[in-house]
Amino acid sequence: MRSLAKAAVLALAVLAAALVAPAHLVAQDDVPDALQAYRDGRYLDAIAITADEIEANPNNIESYVVRGWALNALNRSQEAIDSSLRALQINQFESRILQIIAEAHFDSGNRLEALRYLERYVRVAPTGQYIDWVYYAIGEILIGLGEYHRADIALSTAVYHNSRNAVRWARLGFAREQLEAWTYALEAYNRALQLSPDLSAAVVGRARVQAALDG
């Protein structure tokens, strides 16, 4: 009888553990996920979640990264800059934070400030996740400054890292066109049109270059 009683007690203990475990898992699932909110396009939720995370742990660099992405997605550039500058005080070599600040300045038209952070990104992460966009942004800024040789180098590097972006090929063609490097400009415009046959900047640019070559 005693053995039967012990078996019954053990069975009840196992059942209780089975009932408790799912509740524990549900509690874990209820923890807000800022990154998932960002990926789902729920940028305001991501910002709210990261605010709580940073309040709980002011040195949580991952929270600052997601917060910066969400703020930039909402075109809240100055907030993204302010938040990310605080993150750089935690880790001045965090390439994702440098990219966030560069993008915020770039989108706000603060091109020289953007260039400063883009160049820092290249030094910190020369093969980083955003390196193709970084070189594209550098190229755009240099075009605006009339520095077409350097723009050619930057945009050539951008398409080296990501050869499937038609707009970047077209901008490379434009930079080469300004240098009167007609053959190379035509090559870049043609690559753009292979990727996007209706891209107007490439269509018009190739026509200009072809006219220069025919003349």
Say what the pTM is. Answer: 0.84
Per the structure, the complete domain to which residue 162 belongs is given by: 130-215
Q: How far apart are the C-alpha atoms of 12 and 158, rounded to whole Å? A: 64
Q: Do 138 and 73 have their domain in common?
A: no
Q: Do 149 and 104 have their domain in common?
A: no
DSSP 8-class letter at 41: T
Number of folded domains in the chain?
A: 2
Residue 197 included in any domain: yes
Residues in the chain: 215
pLDDT of amino acid 29 = 56
CATH number, domain containing residue 80: 1.25.40.10
Of 123, 115, 58, nearest to 93 (Cα)? 123
Residue 2 above 90 pLDDT? Answer: no
Q: Do 102 and 135 have their domain in common?
A: no
Residue 10 above 60 pLDDT? Answer: no
Q: HSE, CB side, 13 Å, CA atoms: give it for residue 186.
A: 10
Give the pair of three-digit tokens for residue 165. Answer: 């972006």
Residue 25 included in any domain: no
Q: How far apart are the C-alpha atoms of 102 and 108, rounded to whole Å? A: 10
Residue 156 included in any domain: yes
Q: How far apart are the C-alpha atoms of 71 and 46, rounded to whole Å? A: 9
Residue 150 above 50 pLDDT? Answer: yes
Q: How far apart are the C-alpha atoms of 159 and 86, rounded to whole Å? A: 32
